[in-house]
Amino acid sequence: MKTLLVTGSSGLIGSEVCTYFARLGWNIHGIDNDQRAVFFGPAGDTRWNQKRLEKTIRNFAHHELDIRNRDGVLDIVRQIKPDAIVHTAAQPSHDRAADIPFDDFDINAMGTFNLLEATRRYSAQIPFVHMSTNKVYGDAPNEISLIELDRRWDYADKEYQDGISETFRIDQSKHSLFGASKVAGDIAVQEFGQYFNMPTVCLRGGCLTGPNHTGVELHGFLSYLVKCNLEHKEYTVFGYKGKQVRDNIHSYDVARFIEEFVKAPRIAEVYNIGGGKNNTCSILEAFDLIASISGIPMNWTYRDENRIGDHICYYSDLSKMKSHYPAWNITKTLDDIFMEIYNSWIARNK
């Protein structure tokens, strides 16, 4: 039986990967120390998700470990002897990073480096999957010519009609400190692949979402938006008239792609992973969609000040992923995603 090591196992993507690979018959070892509760307070606590995994996955072992603990990371990889590693642990908010810059860099950059070196010392042949972010491109996507529509922005330049590709530049743009720390981790993952010929991949996520997301205002767009609607809380829109666009991908489809990569790994690859153009929505459109499901009008306010480094319009060009792994595609539509988040909230709050 194969063994998978997952960091950030109580988070959205980490927990989905644990569940998905457990169904494939893998032994699962999860690393998590609930730093999300430290970053965002009680609303960000993920212990409920840890308990869910311990209850529902027979071959699951939880490890309370901070990835900044270099010796601890070296020891656990050596002890577990995984057949693959999926690294999803992170400080995930570009707003929060400005308040905790050392923690942000130590987790996103040094934590990733600790895991890479631990993997190399154990085995340079096992797949290493790193959840990166589209924030590595900084605010450079905002330089693309846009067209303003009634409820959203979209690309006016035909070169980007299918979205942002992996060849888009990362230099000479404002990333936020979070974006910078994720760039450092992203480049390190690529370098270990190139220099040591290791099968590594950076998945530069768009809007990653799903029913197991512990959404808060500073991170977790759709999850937090649905929560505000159902709890009759006011949602604050930051700039761009509420027409800013994101492509949304269900955590299940992320896990499906990770399976494809693990089955046929490549050296030092990079992919933009998101919902693609068909799964895009603006904030205003998201308001309309959840209100049509719940029957509750969205309560929101507008602040004419965008978040630093925030994208006006971003969606992923999935053509490279599909060409390298033709068995993979998006299976969860935007409507599916909203319904699952809605039903999950209802079930947990009966």
As given in the structure block, the two tokens for residue 270 are 């990079």
The percent of residues in the chain predicted with pLDDT above 70, rounded, is: 100
CA-wise closest residue to 23 among 60, 50, 62, 64:
60
Residue 316: strand pairing partners: 164
> 238-271, pLDDT tens digit by residue?
999 999 999 999 999 999 999 999 999 999 999 9
| Beta strands at 84-87 and 60-63: parallel, antiparallel or unpaired | unpaired
Cα–Cα distances in Å, from 22 out to 10, 53, 213, 331, 341? 15, 10, 19, 20, 22
Which tokens belong to 206? 């768009």
User: Residues with Cβ < 8 Å from 150, sequence gap 6 or more?
Assistant: none
- Cα separation, 260 vs 341, in Å, equals 25
Domains of the chain are 3-348 (3.40.50.720)
pTM exceeding 0.85:
yes
pLDDT score of 307: 86
Whether the Cβ atoms of residue 186 and residue 269 lie closer than 8 Å to each other:
no
Pairing of strands 60-63, 146-148: unpaired
pLDDT at 131 exceeding the cut of 80: yes
Q: Measure the CA angle with vertex 37, ends 34 and 42; round to 5°.
A: 135
Region of 183 please: left (phi>0), alpha (psi -120 to 50) or beta.
Answer: alpha
DSSP type of residue 141: G
Nearest Cα neighbor of 26 from 48, 59, 70 is 59
- At 116, the amino acid letter reads L
Q: Is the pLDDT of residue 60 over 90?
A: yes
The C-alpha angle 44, 46, 52, rounded to 5 degrees, equals 150
Band (44; pLDDT cuts 50, 70, 90): confident
Percent above pLDDT 90 for the chain: 92
pLDDT tens, 174-232? Answer: 999 999 999 999 999 999 999 999 999 999 998 999 998 888 787 778 999 999 999 99
Residue with tokens 């599909």, as numbered in its chain: 322
Sort strands 245-250 and 313-314 into parallel, antiparallel or unpaired: parallel
28 has which bridge partners?
A: 4, 60
Q: What is the mean pLDDT of residues 94-113?
A: 96
**pLDDT tens string 2-23:** 999 999 999 999 999 999 999 9
Cα pseudo-dihedral 200, 210, 90, 312, rounded to 10: 90
Q: Is 122 exposed, middle or buried (0-12, 13-18, 19+ CB in 10 A)?
A: middle
Confidence of residue 308 (pLDDT cuts 50, 70, 90): confident
